[in-house]
């Protein structure tokens, strides 16, 4: 009975209260950051929510399942063409080479600059050394979080743009799709690097089975793309939980995080099957009604004593690094031909949005001991600030109101 009571308390604190606040604020802040903000405040103020059974066992399960679904739908959105709107034709579509080059620069410059600055100035600070003791792995982990863009949150922000601004938003989404894939690949590489030589030894039959299962999923998708383009709808819906469960289990057995497997399972599903799924509705439901418990718990599990004034200052410094390097990268190498400086900076202002992708990435890295409690707390604050600033920054760069009320 205690778990049920805790679940209700979880839902009130991290789902209902943020939703009411979101409505009272007239949706000026993305709803994804409000539960994490509530959790951070509860942790910093040392509010004894444990007496209400929070975080609850069932809340943990439901929140975790929702985030798996979000990672899976992010993989599915790899195959959604964000340019199929009349407004998107106002900007010439970049070539694949130009798009990939722009995405590489937009991600690479913040990653390299962030990694070097973190290594030189942040990791020597008290409490910032990672438990695993691998300095460069920790620095690159923080650099990856600084450079990431929030694809799911960014999709929602772009949907709220005025019609004349949607071409810029659609271009930012194209870059964010590539960045999202790079994030999950980077997380996998960093986890292998953190484990060192141990990652290549001690494999059992389960690891081999995981590799075989991933190969079956990929080959099966390739075959279905060519030979089974219009299957019965029941088969598509049956394949969804199978892909999600198989990908998550396989990545876990390989020593990676389950979210990495969930993302790539969605990415390798047959595109013709994906187009028959209500991907947006599934993602929106998970984001608004279940995932808030995961994000709220992430904020709640922050060491309140780690979020000191120096940590807040460090968070603000990370915000400056993330924003400046992202804007400079997109301005220096615009992802599409013919963009003006203001348009390029507008794209950069959208891409600096961190949202739930950074929260998820930071949670994975923290769970594996690749970043410290102090760094994790600062990254949570960075995610909240950068996401909250996205709309106002875009309007400022564009020079006029762009978001609908």
Bigger pLDDT: 326 vs 159: 326
- The two three-digit tokens of residue 385, written as one number: 């600030």
| Confidence (pTM) | 0.81
Total domains, the chain: 1
* Residue of 76, 60, 45 whose CA lies nearest to 6: 60
User: Does residue 298 lie in a domain region?
Assistant: no
Confirm if 239 and 269 have CB atoms less than 8 A apart.
yes
Distance CA 27, CA 9 (A): 24
User: Does residue 365 lie in a domain region?
Assistant: yes
Alpha helices in 123-257 (DSSP H): 135-147, 151-159, 166-195, 205-227, 233-253
Q: What pLDDT, on the 0 to 100 scale, is given for residue 384?
A: 87
User: Does residue 78 lie in a domain region?
Assistant: no
Confirm if 291 and 74 have CB atoms less than 8 A apart.
no
User: Does residue 3 lie in a domain region?
Assistant: no
Three-state DSSP class for residue 93? coil
Count Cβ atoms below 10 Å from residue 229 Cβ, excluding itself: 11
User: Does residue 288 lie in a domain region?
Assistant: no
Cα Rg of the chain, angstroms? 21
Three-state DSSP class for residue 403? strand
In this predicted model, what pLDDT tens digit does every residue of 54-73 receive, in sequence order? 999 999 999 989 888 988 88
In this predicted model, what pLDDT tens digit does every residue of 179-231 receive, in sequence order? 878 888 888 888 888 876 555 555 667 888 998 999 999 999 999 999 998 89
User: Does residue 405 lie in a domain region?
Assistant: no
Question: What residue numbers bound the domain in which 111 lies?
Answer: 95-282+304-398
Three-state DSSP class for residue 254? coil
Three-state DSSP class for residue 161? strand
For residues 124-131, average pLDDT: 88
Total length of the chain = 405
End-to-end CA distance of the chain: 43
User: Does residue 165 lie in a domain region?
Assistant: yes
Distance CA 93, CA 88 (A): 8
User: Does residue 88 lie in a domain region?
Assistant: no
The CATH number of whichever domain residue 333 belongs to comes to 1.20.1530.20
């Amino acid at each position: 009975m205690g778990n049920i009571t805790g679940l209700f308390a979880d839902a009130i604190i991290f789902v209902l209260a943020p939703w009411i606040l979101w409505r009272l604020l007239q949706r000026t802040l993305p709803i994804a950051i409000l539960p994490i903000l509530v959790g951070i405040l509860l942790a910093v103020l040392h509010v004894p929510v444990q007496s209400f059974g929070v975080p609850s066992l069932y809340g943990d399960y439901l929140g975790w399942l929702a985030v798996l679904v979000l990672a899976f739908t992010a993989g599915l959105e790899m195959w959604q063409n964000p340019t199929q709107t009349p407004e998107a034709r106002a900007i010439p579509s970049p070539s694949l080479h130009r798009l990939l080059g722009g995405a590489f620069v937009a991600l690479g410059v913040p990653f390299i600059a962030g990694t070097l600055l973190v290594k030189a100035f942040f990791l020597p600070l008290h409490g910032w050394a990672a438990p695993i003791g691998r300095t460069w792995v920790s620095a690159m982990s923080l650099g990856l979080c600084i450079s990431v863009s929030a694809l799911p949150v960014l999709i929602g922000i772009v949907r709220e743009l005025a019609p004349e601004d949607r071409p810029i938003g659609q271009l930012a989404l194209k870059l964010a799709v590539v960045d999202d894939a790079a994030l999950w690949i980077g997380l996998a590489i960093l986890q292998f690097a953190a484990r060192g030589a141990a990652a290549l030894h001690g494999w059992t039959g389960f690891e081999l089975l995981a590799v075989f299962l991933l190969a079956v999923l990929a080959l099966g998708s390739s075959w279905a793309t060519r030979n089974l383009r219009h299957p019965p709808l029941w088969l598509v819906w049956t394949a969804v939980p199978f892909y999600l469960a198989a990908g998550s289990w396989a990545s876990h057995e390989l020593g990676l995080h389950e979210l990495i497997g969930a993302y790539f399972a969605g990415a390798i599903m047959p595109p013709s099957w994906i187009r028959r799924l209500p991907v947006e509705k599934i993602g929106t439901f998970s984001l608004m009604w279940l995932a808030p418990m995961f994000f709220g718990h992430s904020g709640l599990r922050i060491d309140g004593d780690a979020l000191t004034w120096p940590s807040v200052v460090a968070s603000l410094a990370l915000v400056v690094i993330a924003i400046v390097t992202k804007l400079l990268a997109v301005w220096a190498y615009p992802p599409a031909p013919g963009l003006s400086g203001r348009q390029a900076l507008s794209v950069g202002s959208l891409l600096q949005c961190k949202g739930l992708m950074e929260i998820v990435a930071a949670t994975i890295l923290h769970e594996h001991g690749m970043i410290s409690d102090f760094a994790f707390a600062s990254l949570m604050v960075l995610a909240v600030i950068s996401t909250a600033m996205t709309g106002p920054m875009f309007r400022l760069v564009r020079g006029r109101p762009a978001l609908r009320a």
